[in-house]
Amino acid sequence: MFKYRFRTVSPMAEERCKVCGKPVKPLPYVCSYCKNVFCVEHRLPEKHGCEGLSELRNFKPVEVESLSKAISEFEAAQKKGGGFLSRLKRRFSRRG
């Protein structure tokens, strides 16, 4: 669910965790939501109080019932129409 990107640290600069200030060696964790650098302990958005976490919580979960209904309707339409390949075969058989 969470994405991590690793930044290469230049030999001259030492990156530190935004929360605790510890050096983040050998690889810093860059939060994909707030783009800040964190140590292993604070790498998860919940652990560093990520501002982007509130954006994640604003997403509405997909309702299982509506999704199930949409899938059923799609499958019924596929059976009725024969699916994409059947329609394609019919189209080319008419031309020939």
Higher-confidence residue of 2 and 79: namely 79
Out of 13-22, 59-68, 85-94, the most confident range is: 13-22
pTM for this model (two decimals): 0.47
Q: Is 12 exposed, middle or buried (0-12, 13-18, 19+ CB in 10 A)?
A: exposed
Per residue in 30-49, pLDDT (tens digit) is 998 899 999 999 999 989 98
Task: Report the run of H or E that residue 75 belongs to, with start and end.
Answer: helix 64-81
Strand segments (E) across 1-96:
4-6, 29-31, 37-38
Task: Give me the residue spans of the domains in the chain.
Answer: 1-59, 64-95
* Position 19 confidence tier, pLDDT thresholds 50, 70, 90: very high
Hey, what CATH class is 1-59 in? few secondary structures
Using CA atoms, how far apart are residues 96 and 83, in angstroms rounded to an integer? 21
Q: Are 57 and 51 in contact (CB under 8 A)?
A: no
